[in-house]
Structure formats: C-alpha cells, structure tokens
Amino acid sequence: MRLKASKISTLRTWALLAVFGGMGLMVFGTSGILMFGQVGKIIAGIFMVFGLIACMASMIIYFWVGMLSTNAPVIDCPECGKRTKMLGQTDRCMYCHTILTWDPSLATTGTETSEQTAPQAK
C-alpha cells in the first residue's frame, strides 16, 4: 500500500479516469462508423458497451466513495490544520499528504516502515 494521495482522493481519481476512458471509448467507437462503414458499426457497438461499463463502474465507485466518506471520521490534520477524512487505520491527509494514523504504535515521526517514506512537500 503505497499511496501518495489519501484513499478517498485516489478512488475519486480512478473514477474520473474511468469516466474519461469510457467516454473516449464511445467517441472512438462512433468515429469507427464513419471510417469503416458496416464493420465500423459492430466495432462501435463493442466500444459502446465497454464505454458504458466503464461509466457505470465509475458511478459505482463515486457512490461507494460517497458512502465511505460520510462514514469516515473528520479530523483536523496536525500538519496543515485543514479538515480531512480518514479511511481505516492509516490514511493520508487530503491536502498535505501527511500520513495520519489511529494506531499509537505506528504514530512515529520516523520512517521505519516502507509505507512511511518521504512525507510530501511541506
């Protein structure tokens, strides 16, 4: 688990990529009709299906992230002072990417585990 951003924003990024990917596929498929005629329609159909699946998947991710973030506890980041949400035992601040944890045994400023490498730009 080596995430640079917090879990919530990582999931949002993936969802966004899925939307663009899905739309890209649909546009690409539609342009196939113009370029390849009859065969292009079949290709377009396939691309449409994949595009729709990608869009649906991203909607599910968005919904899921929404559910998660409503349940996630809101805390004040000790590093930058902004309000951020935490998922699970450890997560990164949404703004400054500082690793935050509930577990006192992990709450060191040192870099003992590989997960705790290099706090991002302060």
Structure token digits, residue 24:
């890209």
Please, which residue, 68 or 96, has the CB nearer to Zn ion?
Answer: 96
Please, which residue, 14 or 95, has the CB nearer to Zn ion?
Answer: 95
Residue 5: phi and psi, rounded to 5, are: -95, 175
CA atoms of 82 and 114, how far apart (whole Å): 26
Sequence-separated contacts (24+) of 57-60 with Cβ below 8 Å: 57/18, 57/22, 58/14, 58/15, 58/16, 58/17, 58/18, 58/19, 58/22, 59/15
Which residue in the block uniquely carries the two structure tokens 């691309």? 47
Residues numbered 70-109 forming contacts with Zn ion, rule: CB under 5 A? 77, 79-80, 93, 95-96, 98
Q: How far is the CB of 29 from Zn ion (least distance, A)?
A: 42
Contact 4, 92 (CB under 8 A): yes
Please, which residue, 98 or 116, has the CB nearer to Zn ion?
Answer: 98
CA atoms of 14 and 42, how far apart (whole Å): 28
Q: How far is the CB of 52 from Zn ion (least distance, A)?
A: 38
Q: How far is the CB of 77 from Zn ion (least distance, A)?
A: 3
Please, which residue, 34 or 121, has the CB nearer to Zn ion?
Answer: 121
Total residues binding Zn ion (CB under 5 A): 7
Annotate each residue in 36-75 with x if it binds Zn ion (CB under 5 A) or - if it does not, as one string. ----------------------------------------
Binding site for Zn ion (CB under 5 A): 77, 79-80, 93, 95-96, 98
